[in-house]
A and B are shown apart, each in its own frame.
Chain A
Amino acid sequence: MDMSVLDSRIRVLALAILSGVEKASFRYLKEKLKTTDGNLSVHMQKLCDAGYVRMEKVFEGRKPKTYFYITEKGKRALLEYIEELNRSMKAGDYKG
Chain B
Amino acid sequence: MLEELRELIEKSMREHDLPYQRRQSLIWGTSTSVGFIITQMLFLMALNDRLSGFEILPFWFVLVAVTVYISRRLAGLPEVESYFSKLYSNFWIAGFFAIAMVAFIALLVQPRYTGAFVAPVAGLMISIAGMMFRVRYTTLMGFLYSASGIPMFYLWQYQFLIFAVMQFMTLALPNLSAFKTHGKS
- Interface flags, A59-93, vs B, CB<8A=1, else 0: 01100010000000000000000100110010000
Q: How far in angstroms is the closest Cβ of chain B from A93? A: 14
Q: Are A21 and B8 in contact (CB under 8 A)?
A: no
In B69-92, the 8 Å CB interface with A consists of: 73, 76-83, 85-86
Q: Mark B34-63, 1 if CB is under 8 A from A, else 0.
A: 000000000000000000000000000000
How does the 8 Å CB contact mask read for B1-25 relative to A, with 1 for contact and 0 for none? 1101100111111010100000000
Kindly state whether residue A55 has any CB partner on chain B within 8 Å. no
B181 touches A (CB below 8 Å): no
Interface majority SS (helix, strand, loop, mixed), chain A? helix
CB-based nearest A residue for B185 = A27
| A12-B5, A82-B2, A86-B2 known; A20 vs B79 contact (CB < 8 Å) | no
| Chain A residues whose CB sits within 8 angstroms of the CB of B85 once the complex forms | 22
Chain B residues near A58: list those with CB within 8 A. Answer: 77
Q: Which residue of B lies closest to A59 (CB)?
A: B77
28 contacts between A and B (CB under 8 A): A9-B1, A12-B1, A12-B5, A13-B5, A16-B9, A16-B12, A17-B8, A18-B12, A20-B8, A20-B9, A20-B11, A20-B12, A20-B15, A20-B83, A21-B13, A21-B80, A22-B82, A22-B83, A22-B86, A23-B81, A24-B81, A25-B78, A25-B79, A28-B17, A58-B77, A85-B1, A86-B2, A96-B1
